[in-house]
Amino acid sequence: MPSVLPDGEPVPEDGALPARALEGAGDRPLGFYLHVPYCATRCGYCDFNTYTASELRGAGGVLASRDNYAGQVAEEIRLARKVLGDDPRPVRTVFVGGGTPTLLAAGDLVRMLGAIRDEFGLADDAEVTTEANPESVDPAYLEELRAGGFNRISFGMQSARPHVLRILDRTHTPGRPEACVEEARAAGFDHVNLDLIYGTPGESDDDWRASLDAAIGAGPDHVSAYALIVEEGTQLARRIRRGEVPMTDDDVHADRYLIADEAFEKAGYAWYEVSNWATSEAGRCLHNELYWRGADWWGAGPGAHSHVGGVRWWNVKHPGAYAAALGAGKSPGAGREVLSEEDRRVERILLELRLREGVELALLKPAGLDASRKALADGLLDAEPYAAGRAVLTLRGRLLADAVVRDLVD
Ligand SMILES: C[S@@+](CC[C@H](N)C(=O)[O-])C[C@H]1O[C@@H](n2cnc3c(N)ncnc32)[C@H](O)[C@@H]1O
Ligand code: SF4
């Protein structure tokens, strides 16, 4: 959840949705994203809506305290219940992300999940994930989460090499994320993910191979690998501009992606989205699939985004403003937009083309179809699914996914 919010029309004080958004809701799965906007320290590359204790001192600091946070999120979940009305859907996925959710007591995360259970009910096979920073959990913490209903956990590993972790300002020691996987398995988690970042300044191909080996060796059933994005306004962007650290170029990113895909495939991880690999269908992140397939989700917490039936809205960004809105009995929504049919078509292409199943060619307009024929001829789309009416990226296409998408939406 990058921290810049879009403009949009205002959200009514009671958070009510246009009636149209709820039409046919029973046929769509419903997920919850719960944002935890706190970190012990800020990593120099990170642009997410998160705050350290010192950043929260001053205006709104008391309201924004971590101690009250689980209660505020529970309040927004009760608001969601009112807004969604007699919605009979049990919740299919819950994803607690950040920030650093595991800076809160495990009991707070369990309490937030309990509010969803109380208000909506959880599907029998609900996927319940939290993100976790490796230095912020121990076996007792993980056991408490597991006993409280969490069944999937995602650790921010990023790299196994100390000098890469240092450039990223990560505070865990090499080896700790792998130990976390073991501890999570011992605690009974069904699914475990490791997040990796490639293309960090100063990282070599061999450093990246070492990180991949370490991640694979730990045996998670899911891995995500992201090219480092140097976000404007971050400490890392400033350091690069000042010439203190070098910028990595796109060719390096492409090489690292190829190294990763080969290592993952060899070890039994199949790609199912451009940046995500899993050992089985059951290991896929169902929550992310809800996003990618345009289902309904409610995002609770400061700056969180939601989508229900073609209406997208986002909350006020600052934890103090968020607490104040809920405390006054109002929706924390800051703005919203009602997506047009064309917006939804474009969004489907943007998201579904990145999936292994690809996107229906029937969604493309004539210019996009022409572009897809060219992409096919250039080896960026797979011939077999294409003949059956779907645009599916080849390995080379995955390297150029953003450019292919840009052409196909025309
Ligand atoms: C925002 S973090 C939240 C979870 C947790 N605090 C952590 O750092 O692992 C989720 C993931 O986003 C990825 N991420 C964050 N900023 C990024 C950036 N600028 N470029 C690439 N990946 C990034 C990292 O891999 C990270 O694990
Ligand atoms: S710990 Fe995660 S959320 Fe927090 S600053 Fe670092 S990358 Fe961002």
User: Does the Cβ of 46 fall within 6 Å of ligand 1?
Assistant: yes
370 three-state secondary structure: helix
**pLDDT of 4 higher than 90:** no
- Cα of 41 vs centre of ligand 1, distance in Å, is 13
What is the per-residue pLDDT for 275?
98
**Nearest CA owner, ligand 1 atom 16:** 46
Atom number, ligand 1, closest to the C-alpha of residue 48 = 1
What is the C-alpha separation between 350 and 339, in angstroms, rounded? Answer: 15
- Cα of 250 vs centre of ligand 1, distance in Å, is 19
- Cα of 47 vs centre of ligand 2, distance in Å, is 8
What is the per-residue pLDDT for 60?
59
- Cα of 276 vs centre of ligand 2, distance in Å, is 19
What is the per-residue pLDDT for 59?
56
**pLDDT of 5 higher than 80:** no
What are the beta bridge partners of residue 312?
307, 337
**pLDDT of 124 higher than 90:** yes
Tokens of 211: 């990180």
**Nearest CA owner, ligand 1 atom 27:** 156
What is the per-residue pLDDT for 396?
97
Lowest model confidence (mean pLDDT) among 27-31, 53-57, 356-360? 53-57
Q: Which of 3, 38, 39, 102 most suits a substitution to test ligand 2, by most atoms within 8 Å of the C-beta?
A: 39
Output the furthest CA–CA distance in the chain (Å, rounded): 61
CB atoms within 10 A of CB 273: 21
What is the per-residue pLDDT for 324?
95
Mean pLDDT along residues 3-32: 87
- Cα of 12 vs centre of ligand 1, distance in Å, is 32
What b-and-e string marks burial along 129-146, b requiring 16 or more CB atoms within 10 Å of the CB? bbbbbbbbbeeebbbbbb
Per-residue pLDDT of 66-96, as tens digits, reads 989 999 999 999 999 999 988 778 999 999 9
**pLDDT of 1 higher than 60:** no
Tell me the ligand closest to 130's alpha carbon. 1
**pLDDT of 301 higher than 90:** yes
What is the per-residue pLDDT for 283?
97
Quote the DSSP letter at residue 134.
Answer: G
Per-residue pLDDT of 214-225, as tens digits, reads 999 999 999 999
Averaged confidence pLDDT in the chain = 95
What is the per-residue pLDDT for 26?
85
What is the C-alpha separation between 145 and 126, in angstroms, rounded? Answer: 15
**Nearest CA owner, ligand 1 atom 26:** 156
Mean pLDDT along residues 305-329: 96
What domains sit in the chain, N to C, each tagged with a CATH number? 19-292 (3.20.20.70), 341-410 (1.10.10)
Tokens of 88: 């009979």
Per-residue pLDDT of 170-219, as tens digits, reads 999 999 999 999 999 999 999 999 999 999 999 999 999 999 999 999 99
Tell me the Ramachandran region of residue 85: left when phi exceeds 0, alpha when psi lies from -120 to 50, beta otherwise: left
**pLDDT of 2 higher than 70:** no
User: Does the Cβ of 154 fall within 6 Å of ligand 1?
Assistant: no
What b-and-e string marks burial along 280-316, b requiring 16 or more CB atoms within 10 Å of the CB? eeebbbbbbbbbbebbbbbbbbbbbbbbbbbbbbbbb
Mean pLDDT along residues 406-410: 94
What is the C-alpha separation between 221 and 278, in angstroms, rounded? Answer: 6
Instruction: Using alpha carbons, list the distances in angstroms from residue 185 to 95, 146, 286, 382.
Output: 19, 10, 19, 37
User: Does the Cβ of 48 fall within 6 Å of ligand 2?
Assistant: yes
**pLDDT of 58 higher than 80:** no
What is the per-residue pLDDT for 87?
77
Per-residue pLDDT of 386-405, as tens digits, reads 999 999 999 999 999 999 99
User: Does the Cβ of 156 fall within 6 Å of ligand 2?
Assistant: yes
Mean pLDDT along residues 361-370: 97
User: Does the Cβ of 332 fall within 6 Å of ligand 2?
Assistant: no
- Cα of 225 vs centre of ligand 2, distance in Å, is 16
**Nearest CA owner, ligand 2 atom 8:** 46
User: Does the Cβ of 361 fall within 6 Å of ligand 1?
Assistant: no
What is the per-residue pLDDT for 282?
96
Atom number, ligand 2, closest to the C-alpha of residue 98 = 3
User: Does the Cβ of 50 fall within 6 Å of ligand 2?
Assistant: yes
184 three-state secondary structure: helix
Per-residue pLDDT of 219-278, as tens digits, reads 999 999 999 999 999 999 999 999 999 988 788 999 999 999 999 999 999 999 999 999
Instruction: Using alpha carbons, list the distances in angstroms from residue 132 to 123, 244, 273, 342.
Output: 23, 30, 22, 37
CB atoms within 10 A of CB 268: 12
Atom number, ligand 1, closest to the C-alpha of residue 98 = 3
31 three-state secondary structure: strand
- Beta strand pairing call for 276-278 and 270-273: antiparallel
- Cα of 45 vs centre of ligand 1, distance in Å, is 9
- Beta strand pairing call for 30-36 and 91-98: parallel
**pLDDT of 64 higher than 80:** no
User: Does the Cβ of 99 fall within 6 Å of ligand 2?
Assistant: yes
Per-residue pLDDT of 137-178, as tens digits, reads 999 999 999 999 999 999 999 999 999 999 999 999 999 999
